[in-house]
Amino acid sequence: MAITSTKEGTTITLQVSGILNWDQRGGFMQAITGAGPGFNYIVDLSETENIESAGLGMLLMMREMCGGGKADITLKNANAQVREVMKMAQFSQLFRLV
């Protein structure tokens, strides 16, 4: 389980591996330290096995830190299970899902 981030210009990409849950909070917070409006964020979930309610909460917190409704955040490459959880939480209304 790990979260890594890379920055290229105004795009910050987070790669989430394993299960996005409370145990990953420290790594997630470190990865988004300094987050704010003006950047494009991509959260790559291709290596994410599952997402728990705490993980959904961290994504919501990231959205608020990045400008709320004006935030440019894309959640991509989620597997069917993660996509279903995000669908039930109506994340498609808050994030770009690809």
pLDDT per residue as tens digits for the range 67-89: 898 999 999 999 999 999 999 99
Q: Is the pLDDT of residue 37 over 70?
A: yes
pLDDT of 34 > 80? The answer is no
Go through 30-42 and write b for each residue having 16 or more CB atoms within 10 A of its CB, e for each that does not.
ebbeebeeebebb
- pTM for the model stands at 0.92
| Position 63 confidence tier, pLDDT thresholds 50, 70, 90 | very high
pLDDT of 1 over the 70 cut = no
CATH code for residues 2-97: 3.30.750.24
